[in-house]
């Protein structure tokens, strides 16, 4: 599968995303600069990586979500192609309206970096098919604004539609209903605060993120 990783000024997990994708597919993803207005020909999977795009100033992900490449990503998502946003990427996807809700300052107000216990709530997505439903994972988180917020109606709806994909075992940031990751209604755009790309080889101290990339990208 042809992949692309989007690079914004301040992205800092772009290389990590690149390496995880290459590890699973054997193919290097294209690194796409935010000022481009088109994705490379033939791109299938788009990953919006973590980091501090625009320094997290104003609102996390706000400025990145208004950059030149975004219309192309929105159009790409509309074709049903897979788009994954991790951490700052998740924030960018909510800011751009591709995913519902918003990510607010952590309830404890402090940055939190730890290996977070997660439950796979929905193993029937193209991102999670290689996990067992209900599987318990340990995946690193590292963020200051991961406190998922949406109004009750929206929360009820996404719960009902199976759009909550990952839930925290121990809520680290005040997220509504312990939500760690969600998917859109069509099932092709997913956002999550935990970093699966930081759990793909033994040197990371765990490989619980690997199956996510494998679900999506086939191989291994």
Query: What are the residue numbers of the active site?
Result: 87, 195, 197
- Give the chain's end-to-end CA distance (angstroms, integer): 13
Distance CA 121, CA 124 (A): 9
Site string for another protein, 9-48 (x = CB under 8 A): xx-xx-xx--xx----------------------------
Any contact of residue 138 with another protein (CB under 8 A)?
no
Q: In whole angstroms, how close is the CB of 200 to another protein at the nearest point?
A: 8
Any contact of residue 57 with another protein (CB under 8 A)?
yes
DSSP 3-68: EEEEE-TTB-SHHHHHHHHHHHHSSPPEEEETT-SS--TT--EEEE--B-GGGG-SSTTHHHHTST
Looking at 69-77, 95-103, 127-135, 177-185, which segment touches another protein (CB under 8 A)?
95-103
Distance CA 178, CA 126 (A): 22
Any contact of residue 157 with another protein (CB under 8 A)?
no
Any contact of residue 142 with another protein (CB under 8 A)?
yes
3-class SS letters over 132-196: CCCCEEEEEEEECCCEEECCHHHHHHHHHCCCEEEEECCCCCCCHHHEEEEECCCCCEEEECCCH
Any contact of residue 174 with another protein (CB under 8 A)?
yes
Looking at 6-14, 38-46, 75-83, 126-134, which segment touches another protein (CB under 8 A)?
6-14
Distance CA 212, CA 125 (A): 10
Any contact of residue 113 with another protein (CB under 8 A)?
yes
Any contact of residue 106 with another protein (CB under 8 A)?
yes
- Supply φ then ψ for residue 155, to 5 degrees: -60, -45
Residue among 26, 28, 38, 109 that touches another protein (CB under 8 A): 109
Cβ proximity to another protein: between 7 and 164 the closer is 7
Any contact of residue 195 with another protein (CB under 8 A)?
yes
Q: Residue 56 corresponds to which tokens in the numbers above? A: 């997290």
Any contact of residue 94 with another protein (CB under 8 A)?
yes
CA–CA–CA angle 142, 146, 150 (5° rounding): 165
Q: In whole angstroms, how close is the CB of 38 to another protein at the nearest point?
A: 17
Distance CA 162, CA 197 (A): 24
Residues in contact with another protein by the rule CB under 8 A = 9-10, 12-13, 15-16, 19-20, 50-52, 54-59, 62-63, 66-68, 94-95, 100-102, 104-107, 109-115, 140, 142, 144, 147, 149-151, 174, 195, 197-198, 203-205
């Amino acid at each position: 599968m042809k992949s692309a990783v989007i690079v914004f000024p301040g992205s800092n997990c772009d290389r990590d995303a690149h390496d995880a994708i290459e590890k699973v597919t054997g193919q290097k993803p294209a690194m796409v600069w935010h000022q481009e207005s088109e994705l490379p020909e033939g791109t299938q999977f788009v990953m919006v990586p973590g980091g501090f795009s625009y320094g997290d100033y104003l609102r996390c992900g706000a400025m990145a979500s208004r950059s030149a490449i975004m219309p192309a990503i929105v159009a790409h998502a509309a074709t049903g192609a897979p788009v994954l946003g991790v951490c700052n990427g998740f924030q960018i996807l909510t800011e751009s309206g591709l995913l519902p809700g918003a990510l607010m300052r952590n309830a404890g107000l402090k940055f939190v970096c730890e290996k977070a216990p997660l439950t796979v709530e929905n193993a029937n997505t193209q991102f999670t098919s290689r996990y067992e439903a209900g599987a318990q994972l340990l995946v690193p988180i590292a963020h200051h604004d991961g406190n998922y917020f949406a109004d009750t109606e929206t929360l009820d709806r996404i719960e009902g539609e199976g759009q909550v994909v990952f839930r925290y075992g121990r809520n680290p940031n005040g997220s509504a209903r312990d939500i760690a990751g969600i998917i859109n209604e069509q099932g092709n755009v997913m956002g999550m605060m935990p970093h699966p790309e930081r759990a793909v080889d033994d040197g990371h101290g765990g490989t619980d993120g690997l199956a996510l990339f494998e679900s999506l990208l086939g191989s291994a």
